[in-house]
Amino acid sequence: MYPRLEINLKKLEHNTRIIKQMCERHNVKIWGVTKCFCANPLAAMAMLKGGADMLADSRIENLKKLKDIPSKKVLLRIPMHCEVDDVVLYSDYSQNSELSTLKLLGEAAQRIGKVHNVIIMLDLGDLREGVWPDNIDEFIGEAVKIKGIEIKGFGVNLTCYGGVIPDEVNLSKLVDISKDMGDKYNLDVEIISGGNSSSLYLVEKGTLPKGINNLRVGEAILLGRETAFGKRLDGLYDDAFVLKAQIVELKEKPSVPIGNIGMDAFGGKPVFEDKGMMKRAIVAMGRQDIDINLIRPFDEDIRLIGASSDHTILNVTNSKKDYKVGDVVEFYLYYGGLLKAATSAYVHKVLV
């Protein structure tokens, strides 16, 4: 059935293995981030076969799917108060930045006779989650008093929100703060997590600051590129995930609608360029399923024109292939495109 998202497990395993080898040379462990494919257990297992040291996800619902997989698991999104009982049950580590949440996690862990491992997130300028460096000493001083949790490390998020690129300066600051807090409060600092796929360029260059011993890797494994500059990584596949959609209409039509133009289905007023008559293919997927700005046809002669909720319109005028109704068009995916397609219940997931 179509539309479908094909997940190539061998390519996923291969990409993980290459990144694992790259990082291992610098004494860096990797967590395979599963959120972009909604923690499909077989895809997660491919990451582990490729050498991922742990599995990590932003949503506790996804970690529940992975509960029977023999690997330690990490909750990446700082927990909500309402989910602390599930956090201590389904994750071995969680990332945190709020004392009130740490207290609830500690209470939840004590109720089931556990100690829950936490990683304290620092905000080094990207302005998403994290304790501001000026406040970290006071924060740790309070956190170490909480029963039922153990601080096992420190981490930072960069690029995801503010676009701040990880570099030797901000990551060295992470290392310094981690060591200072470890020494002052006698912490077992097991993990200093220097970010996500955007930090891989430093690994490639050999300039990742000494002391960073963990990266949380999703996009580089899934799509074969680092995310600071969007560069393809040598030896990695960029088509471990392929989106496929079937043509339901193929006709010659004008390139500009006829009539007075008002709002489209999403509240915008579309603008069209007159390119004369064109051969237009409609595939049966739309903005409920995908982000058309974050997919790219395999056929380089196809142009994406636009989409409504359920239909995507393609200009196939210049394609060398003689498309027919019923034919399938394949698409590469960017990160946001993969995230949306994987999340849509209307896109069939097929493991190959």
Question: Residue 227's pLDDT is what?
Answer: 96
Is residue 113 a contact partner of residue 95, using CB atoms and an 8 Å limit?
no
pLDDT band at 261 (very low <50, low <70, confident <90, very high): confident
Residue 101 scores a pLDDT above 90 = yes
Per-residue pLDDT reduced to its tens digit, 291-341:
999 999 999 999 999 999 999 999 999 999 999 999 999 999 999 999 999
Question: Residue 268's pLDDT is what?
Answer: 81
Residue 265 scores a pLDDT above 80 = no
Question: Residue 318's pLDDT is what?
Answer: 97
The pLDDT of 95-115, averaged and rounded, is 98
Average pLDDT, the chain: 97
Per-residue pLDDT reduced to its tens digit, 146-201:
999 999 999 999 999 999 999 999 999 999 999 999 999 999 999 999 999 999 99
Cross-strand bridge partners of residue 119: 95, 153
Question: Residue 245's pLDDT is what?
Answer: 98
SS (H, E, C) 250-271: EEEEECCCCCCCCCCCCCCCCC
Token pair in block for residue 291: 């982000």
CATH of 9-223 given 3.20.20.10, 3.40.190.10, 3.30.360.10, 3.20.20.140: 3.20.20.10
Residue 259 scores a pLDDT above 90 = no
Question: Residue 75's pLDDT is what?
Answer: 98
Neighbours of 224 (CB within 10 A): 22
Question: Residue 44's pLDDT is what?
Answer: 98
Angle between helices 168-185 and 136-143 (to 10 degrees): 40
Provide the percentage of residues in the chain whose pLDDT is more than 70: 100
Per-residue pLDDT reduced to its tens digit, 74-96:
999 999 999 999 999 999 999 99
pLDDT band at 11 (very low <50, low <70, confident <90, very high): very high
pLDDT band at 9 (very low <50, low <70, confident <90, very high): very high
Question: Residue 260's pLDDT is what?
Answer: 84
pLDDT band at 272 (very low <50, low <70, confident <90, very high): confident
Query: What phi, psi does 111 have (nearest 5°)?
Result: -65, -30
pLDDT band at 262 (very low <50, low <70, confident <90, very high): confident
Query: What phi, psi does 185 have (nearest 5°)?
Result: -110, 10
Please, where in the chain does CATH 3.20.20.10 lie?
Answer: 9-223
Question: Residue 15's pLDDT is what?
Answer: 98
Sign of torsion, CA 49 51 53 58?
negative
Over its C-alpha atoms, the chain yields an Rg (Å, rounded) of: 23
What amino acid positions are annotated as catalytic residues?
35
SS (H, E, C) the chain: CCCEEEECHHHHHHHHHHHHHHHHCCCCEEEEECHHHCCCHHHHHHHHHCCCCEEEECCHHHHHHCCCCCCCEEECCCCCHHHHHHHHHHCCEEEECCHHHHHHHHHHHHHCCCCEEEEEEECCCCCCCCECHHHHHHHHHHHCCCCCEEEEEEEECCCCCCCCCCCHHHHHHHHHHHHHHHHHHCCCCCEEECCCHHHHHHHHHCCCCCCCCEEEECHHHHHCECCCCCCECCCCCCCCEEEEEEEEEEEEEECCCCCCCCCCCCCCCCCCCCCCEEEEEEECCCCCCCCHHHEEECCCCCEEEEECCCCEEEECCCCCCCCCCCCEEEEEECHHHHHHHHHCCCCEEEEC
**CA angle 220–297–284, rounded 5-degree value:** 110
- Can you give the length of the chain in residues? 352
Residue 342 scores a pLDDT above 90 = yes
Per-residue pLDDT reduced to its tens digit, 207-234:
999 999 999 999 999 999 999 999 999 9
pLDDT band at 271 (very low <50, low <70, confident <90, very high): confident
